[in-house]
Chains A and B, each alone.
Chain A
């Protein structure tokens, strides 16, 4: 490039330098303003306080959660709650980033998988010490999953159970009767699924492949005297059981009970309202009971919950347990722990919030709210609440919460399921690699 012609006579130079300083200063000032505006309101009482509240979920959840926020703000004009929400997949990356940047949301919708991950590293507030948070009306068992090392780091936001969601319309289209889920076995499940696929002849399939999340493996293990994690935070599933899990999955695929591996691998990471159950391609899929509502809305069908099949044909031996569908946690670095606790208390214990949230996040653990809410439930939520009630006598012992590093298990199991379904790894090899990898992740 040619050097620019020199236009300046010496006296003008000072003017130019001054202009440069002025501009630099102006720019700095602008950027400084930008940095400031992110801060919240003042701390002192009476002044307006802004809380940030994160959750993941479907459209249904976003809408009702926003309504709860609106109603909370109406009652507490000094507290503003800013909702931030997204899909499950991106949620955890975002949360990790904000926590690392010391910019964690005040109130966090937390999952069992990550609870210890954050709590053990001191990122969450001990809710026992939180002022104004009442757990007196909670069903006693429901607090346990969020409690460890003497503190309460996650408040149960709803009870759910791992189930099979069935689409009666697809059953009907295939001319197959919905099975009796109190007596069915895995063989029944395989036979019925294959029959549906055969009758639908390419327009749909009997069942989604299992192995898209850790719950299906945990249930498989629990039915066989093991569990995904042990009480002391180790991997609890043996290589044999894991290989069997995958051998059975391959048999389901061979009989066309499940869709093609391509369909399955796409379905695994699809958002809830775009997955095979929501689009009406599947007669059965594995899901958490509280998702019945969102799936029913997405599919436009009144879906039905079924107990998981068992080895023996006895529902009491199918490994079912009550899980905390999700938890409310408060960031330990929140500038407004008092207001955050007030908001969590509102979510958990106020009739107003209960009437809006209903059972979308699972059946309310606060027994009073549950009683008040039950008659108001919409068909889908009423069905999941009734299901939770119905299996109460069949439950096994609660499942130990995942140890630190357990948040990775879902992605890992999805990967090995894909490897097996595409025939890239044998069930035995996949089982060994899975175990090695999980042992490497757990801390």
Chain B
């Protein structure tokens, strides 16, 4: 949210006489700014340089020009990791947002004990990308896992969900969908902003609940949907922990959970190929940038700002 509101204030002119105050503000910000430059921007610039080198972590980097990037064109495992990542993003984000919206609408109707449910549903978002949950996931979907123990008595054949390349990615999609709490809370906040009189007027005109949802709730909620969409796509592209833990760091079985970030990590730290990994990191930045830009362009056609 803060990022969006910050965007909104960017171009505004400063009120006169505030300059001196800024000194104090910047001084207060110093620790954060130092962190930004030392921990984020510095390494980013370094990685931009490394992207054009052959760097094995131990010896000094050697300048190789565009070689890392041309290598990416013919790297089959890289292409596979892109496929895995795109599948993950394009499947899990829409499902996750749909579930989040649905539950937000249900909770918004004034369910008794809503604060409790809100917390319960939000909990997975806090835990979702943690190592502990990924380990739990491994247990649930393992050959002797909870899921098999539940479905086998019902007559379904159990299987090693995580160790089969055709279902392993599915378990990670389910894990991401399960963390619907964060977008749900934002949806709830958005729903609260819609004036009740619209609904009252619609009811008077004889609109049923479905009609009210699609003609009032959805259009007025589009800015929030857009916001959640951008955020969750970026988030999903950067997923790492879940796949790393669930696959034991291999992206396996058979590279079926080899996210782009995981492959990047494997190249850099497992294969002593940090130059290539840096090039991959910048390519990911471009991919996420393109997706976000495309989202903003597309938003002109479907996002409705009520002001």
Contact = CB atoms under 8 A, between A and B. Distances in A.
Interface stretch (B115-123, B206-214, B247-255): B247-255
A405 B56 CA distance: 11
Nearest to A6: B21
A265 B272 CA distance: 25
B160 A263 contact: yes
Contact of B252 (A121, A260, A414): A414
A117 B272 contact: yes
Given A121-B58, A261-B163, A263-B163, 7 more contacts: A1-B5, A27-B30, A100-B58, A269-B248, A414-B252, A418-B254, A422-B253
A332 B165 CA distance: 42
A26 to B, nearest CB: 9
Interface string A8-19: 100001001100
B27, B28, B57, B253 — which one has the most chain A CB atoms within 10 A of its CB? B253
Interface in A83-115: 89-90, 92-93, 96-97, 99-100
Contacts of B28: 20, 23-24
5 smallest A-B Cβ distances: which pairs?
A262-B160, A20-B27, A269-B248, A100-B57, A266-B163
A414 B250 contact: yes
Interface residues of B, number: 39
A265 B248 contact: no
Given A24-B27, A24-B28, A411-B270, A121 B164 contact: no
Contacts of B160: 260, 262-263, 265-266
Given A13-B20, A262-B143, A266-B163, A424 B254 contact: yes
A263 B162 CA distance: 10
Contacts of B272: 96, 117, 121
Nearest to A264: B163
Contacts of A122: 58-59
Contacts of B271: 405, 408, 441
B83 interface: no
Contacts of B34: 28
A418 B27 contact: no
Interface on chain A toward B: helix, strand, loop, or mixed SS? helix
Contacts of B254: 265, 415, 418-419, 422, 424
A118 interface: yes
A15 B272 CA distance: 52
Contact of A21 (B15, B20, B27, B270): B27
Contact of A269 (B58, B250, B255): B250
A373 B73 CA distance: 56
A265 B58 contact: no
Nearest to A23: B28
A118 B272 CA distance: 10
Contacts of A13: 20-21, 24
Nearest to B253: A265
Nearest to A96: B269
Nearest to A17: B24
Interface string B9-36: 1000001000011011001101100100
A123 interface: yes
Contacts of B250: 89, 269, 411, 414-415
B128 interface: no
Contacts of B183: none
Contact of A415 (B143, B159, B249, B255): B255
B28, B163, B164, B165 — which one has the most chain A CB atoms within 10 A of its CB? B163
A415 B252 contact: yes
A100 B34 CA distance: 23
B5, B247, B248 — which one has the most chain A CB atoms within 10 A of its CB? B248
B249 A261 contact: no
A408 B266 CA distance: 10
Given A24-B30, A262-B143, A441-B271, A422 B165 contact: yes
A93 B249 contact: yes
Contacts of A415: 250, 252, 254-255
A418 B252 contact: yes
B132 to A, nearest CB: 16
Contacts of B27: 17, 20-21, 23-24
B275 interface: no
Interface in B26-66: 27-28, 30-31, 34, 56-59
B142 interface: yes
B267 to A, nearest CB: 10
A89 B248 contact: yes
B274 interface: yes
Contacts of A100: 57-58, 274
Interface string A402-436: 00010010010011001100101000000000000
A99 B57 contact: yes
A265 B250 CA distance: 11
Nearest to B71: A440
Contact of A261 (B23, B57, B58, B164): B164
B279 to A, nearest CB: 16
Nearest to B166: A422
Contacts of B57: 96, 99-100
A408 B271 CA distance: 7
B58, B248, B252 — which one has the most chain A CB atoms within 10 A of its CB? B58
